[in-house]
A and B are shown apart, each in its own frame.
Chain A
Amino acid sequence: MTLSALLVLADGRFPAGGHAHSGGAEAAVKAGRLKDAADLESFCRGRLHTTGLTSAALAAGAAHGLDPYELDAAADARTPSAALRAASRRLGRQLMRAARAAWPSPELDALAAAFPRGAHQPVVLGTAARAAGLGPEEAAHCVAYETVGGPATAAVRLLSLDPYQATAVLARLAPEMDQVAERAAAAAGQGVDALPAASAPLLDLTAEQHAAWPVRLFAS
């Protein structure tokens, strides 16, 4: 394991396109469910324990070396929103480009060839983590962090929220991110059938509403 490689992969400056996505925060702001730092914290906590856990386990599974085709099918089955499936594959394609430049590997090449329109982002992330010499738990940490980091950054832009407050939310969630990463990695060690499928009705619902907006700041 190389801790520095994990920092490179998890860095918001890693050119994988994540900054264009709000993780459902833009729709939650418009619906009046995300107005301040307290709302951001409960939004991020809910996202972390649902889609965050599910995505982290998919990434951990890929880092563990589980069959990426089965993982991609498992991601499809766990993503009922067509808008979120499309966003995940688009992000997977962008991450793939950056990951192949950063950590060239035959496994990344094979995954890119098998999914020319993009594999699901957590599957690409786990495969990239593996190429970077990282293990399942590190891959899961990376996903857990981006699950809450994305909405927090978006909330600063959408609400003009104090960035110190947004960062404090992330710091308070750190112990739960660790728990989620640990659970995700443990599940991934038991194979594709044991992967969690935790999900969030409002994220699925509002993703489709958001995709229908004529004008929006974020892609999802």
Chain B
Amino acid sequence: MDRVSLRATARIAADADGGLPLLVSDGPLALRRTRAAGPYTRVTVVGAMSAPLGGDRLAIETEVRDGARLLVDSAAATLALPGPSADPAAYDVRISVADGAVLRWLPEQLVSAAGSHLRMRTTVDLAPTARLVLREEQVLGRHGEVPGTLTTRLTVRRAGRPLFDQELSFGPGAPGGWDGGAVLGGHRATGQLLVVDPAFADKAVEARLYGENAVVSPLAGPAALATAVAPDALALRRLLDAALSELAPF
């Protein structure tokens, strides 16, 4: 797997008529329009398996225009691996969702392999009447493997105001205590499901427990977050799927 570090930026733009005026693959980030059920235009990221390696700088920019309904998923988990460079890899996801538009951003897991170092940064700008479903899952190590170092930051602004901002940091390069009883407590998978829906302003989401390892809590705006921890990716997905079907029937 010897290769030099790479830079790649893929781009998506979706229109209300179902069209994709922009669908630009780049390097390992291959985008395909795939068959969708229901009213969504669907884009699948098919090629991120071999990246990101240390030193890579990857980005996906997504613009969901007025009234568009876009579903973005991925064909496989994203695997962070050590690379030719000792520098961390960077993966930036930049999303904007316009008025009346809906984005379902449901990629597969992010897996932090031993020796890797990835900083993932997701920023979302939502118009006042935009809706969003966004899932992130961090899996620490492949099966039975010690994790690499993984830092993820998710920043969501709505109508220009901060709605949600969260950074998670795990692995040998993270600050101490990440595996202690306050942060992960020995779990090897954790995930978040964020749902933003202006309708929540009239009908607030109530806090809800899903067993010992997952919870849904309303945010300070018209949004709710499911937080889950689990021993592995499969158990994690079950928890987040339960929250998804209740929080986001759209």
Contact = CB atoms under 8 A, between A and B. Distances in A.
Contacts of A48: 177
A33 interface: yes
Given A46-B180, A83-B207, A209-B215, A202 B220 contact: no
Most buried by B among A44, A76, A77, A198: A77
Interface string B59-103: 000000000000000000000000000000000000000000000
Given A43-B177, A45-B176, A202 B155 contact: no
Nearest to A212: B209
Most buried by A among B169, B177, B212, B228: B177
A205 B214 contact: yes
Given A74-B165, A211-B207, A204 B217 contact: yes
B161 A73 contact: yes
B209 to A, nearest CB: 6
Size category of the A interface is 35 or more
B153 interface: yes
Contacts of A46: 176-183
Interface of B: 153, 155-156, 161-169, 175-185, 190, 207, 209, 212-215, 217-220, 225, 227-229
Contact of B227 (A31, A47, A196, A205): A205
A197 B166 contact: yes
Interface in A174-220: 176, 196-205, 208-209, 211-212
A204 B228 CA distance: 10
Given A24-B182, A42-B181, A201 B227 contact: yes
A77 B153 contact: no
Nearest to B163: A77
Classify the interface of chain A: helix, strand, loop or mixed: helix
A28 interface: yes
B176 A31 contact: no
A78 B163 CA distance: 8
Contacts of B169: 49, 198
Contacts of A19: none
B218 A82 contact: yes
B124 to A, nearest CB: 12
B190 A201 contact: yes
Interface in A49-86: 49-50, 53, 73-74, 76-83, 85
B165 A203 contact: no
A34 interface: yes
26 contacts: A28-B181, A28-B182, A42-B181, A44-B177, A46-B176, A46-B179, A46-B181, A46-B182, A47-B182, A49-B175, A53-B175, A73-B162, A76-B162, A77-B220, A80-B217, A80-B219, A80-B225, A81-B215, A82-B219, A83-B207, A197-B153, A197-B165, A201-B228, A202-B182, A202-B229, A205-B228
Contacts of B180: 33, 39, 42-43, 45-46
B181 A33 contact: yes
A176 B180 CA distance: 16
B213 A80 contact: no
A78 B214 CA distance: 18
Most buried by A among B153, B156, B212, B215: B215
A80 B181 contact: no
A209 B209 contact: yes
Contact of B177 (A47, A83, A85): A47
A81 B192 CA distance: 13
Contacts of A74: 162, 165
Given A31-B212, A73-B161, A199-B166, A42 B225 contact: no
A208 B182 contact: no
Most buried by B among A31, A202, A209: A202
A203 B168 CA distance: 12
Interface string A89-127: 000000000000000000000000000000000000000
